Amino acid sequence: MSVLNKKKHDLDYYKEWVALDIVKFVCVAVMVFVHTHMVLVTDFNAITNSLGFYYEITNKFMFLGLFLIALPIIAGAVLRINFGKHIIHGKLKNYKIRKIISMAIFISFLGFFMNIITWGIEYAFSWNVLQLIGLSFVVITILLKVFSIRAVFLMGFISIFAIKPLRMFLGDFDSIYLVNIFIGTDSYNTFWSFFPWFSVVAFGFLFVHYYLKYKDSIEFRITAMIIGVALVSIAVIRDEISPYLDPQYVWGTSLSKPTIGWILASIGFFYILIVLGNIFFNKIHLRKYGIINCYSKGILWIYVFQMFLSFKLSFFIKEYFSMNEPSYSYFILPIFMILFSWFVGYLSIKLLQEKKMVITLKKV
């Protein structure tokens, strides 16, 4: 039996994007802070004091959700990076679909497990972002196998603009779990339905595809920036750059059933972030166990652990400190979760990535 080190990506084809790592770090850090903030200022998902300071400040900063929506966009981008040279003339070649199916099953069941340990068995099958990403990965892979990259664009486009007709047509059947997954529902069990959220994963995938195709040329950067600014501008004009905050249920339908402008703004915002990142940060050298690298490489495990721990610890904090008015005690949990997430990212590199190896069995 011989043990071989895992081969690296073809460096001529894919160089590590420091800019993408920095964008990941920023988005994950905002996610950790926002989730921690929400569990502190709510009581059973309703704002504790709908007339107080925390409701007002939360309502004003709802646009920070753009950083959270960037996370499934980043997932789509990473999928395209992982496909590497297997995409030839817009089609996926010599790549076994069972790899993606296995990955999708793993992250989906990890999401169901997170639901159980965080909110209880009654929320086991709530459809969250990990399930959306898993399903989207499978759909993108099938489209590339059977059709081409154009089909990914078409499906991403359709998923944005077909959602209203689909809800009108299937709305009477949204109590059925499968229908619920695809179009969403007014219940509290589906937060990331396939329509319209598939679009953000798809357009993250497409961004990297054309980045690689045009080798991050000046023309590509200008085009991507124009598209990004245009999409954000559409949301601003439609007054949909920031979703409504329902004080009675902060994770309500304004988030789970987003407006078209909110979807477009999320995609455009990511395009702007990554182009600017490539311009200003791509030459920076990241420390292996620095907070940026740990957040970037440990994104999946940070998401799962911080969701569970911040929710559980929030009850302990609120038992001893009032969250009705601003106080220094508010910062205890966010600071702890930021540092804890760094530790989770460090462990994910140390235990799960550095130890990777390929084992080849030879007949003696």
Q: Which of 236, 261, 284 is the last residue of a domain?
A: 284
- Shared-domain flag, residues 5 and 103: no
Q: Give residue 108's pLDDT.
A: 96
- Shared-domain flag, residues 180 and 299: no
Residue 66 within any structural domain of the chain: no
Q: Give residue 364's pLDDT.
A: 44
Of 137-141, 191-195, 339-343, the least confident? 191-195
Residue environment code for 23-32, b if the CB has 16+ CB neighbours within 10 A, otherwise e: bbbbbbbbbb
- Shared-domain flag, residues 192 and 316: no
Residue 45 within any structural domain of the chain: yes
pLDDT at 342 over 70: yes
- Shared-domain flag, residues 84 and 50: no
CB neighbour list of residue 88: distance below 8 Å, 6 or more residues apart: none
- Shared-domain flag, residues 225 and 101: yes
CA atoms within 13 A on the CB side of 58: 27
- Shared-domain flag, residues 324 and 261: no
Mean pLDDT of 281-299: 90
What tens digit of pLDDT does each residue of 75-111 get?
A: 999 999 999 999 999 999 999 999 999 999 999 999 9
Residue 71 within any structural domain of the chain: no
Contacts by residues 279-285 (CB-CB < 8 Å, ≥ 24 positions apart): 279/221, 280/19, 281/18, 281/19, 281/22, 282/17, 282/18, 282/19, 283/18, 284/18, 284/22, 285/18
Residue 70 within any structural domain of the chain: no
Are 299 and 71 within 8 A, CB to CB?
yes
- Shared-domain flag, residues 196 and 153: yes
| Number of domains comprising the chain | 2
CA atoms within 13 A on the CB side of 272: 16
- Shared-domain flag, residues 1 and 93: no
- Shared-domain flag, residues 246 and 222: yes
Residue 10 burial (CB count, 10 A): 10
How sure is the predictor about 18, in pLDDT bands with cuts at 50, 70 and 90? confident
- Compute the distance between CA of residue 189 and CA of residue 62 in angstroms, rounded to an integer: 22
Mean pLDDT of 270-281: 93
Q: Which of 284, 315, 338 is the last residue of a domain?
A: 284
Are 159 and 198 within 8 A, CB to CB?
yes
Give the mean pLDDT of the chain: 89
Give the range of the structural domain holding residue 280, as residue numbers without chain letter.
Answer: 76-284
Residue 99 burial (CB count, 10 A): 12
Check whether the bond before 196 is cis (ω within 30° of 0). Answer: yes
- Shared-domain flag, residues 247 and 296: no
- Shared-domain flag, residues 250 and 143: yes
Residue 69 within any structural domain of the chain: no
Q: Which of 251, 284, 317 is the last residue of a domain?
A: 284
Residue type at position 72: P
Q: What is the DSSP letter of 176?
A: S
Cross-strand pairs, 190: 127
How sure is the predictor about 188, in pLDDT bands with cuts at 50, 70 and 90? low
Of 34-43, 277-286, 328-337, the least confident? 277-286
Residue 67 within any structural domain of the chain: no
pLDDT at 324 over 80: yes
Residue 182 within any structural domain of the chain: yes
- Shared-domain flag, residues 257 and 295: no
Q: Give residue 323's pLDDT.
A: 86
pLDDT at 210 over 70: yes
Residue 249 within any structural domain of the chain: yes
H helical segments located in 189-298: 194-213, 218-237, 253-256, 260-280, 291-297
* pTM (2 d.p.): 0.91
Length of the chain: 364
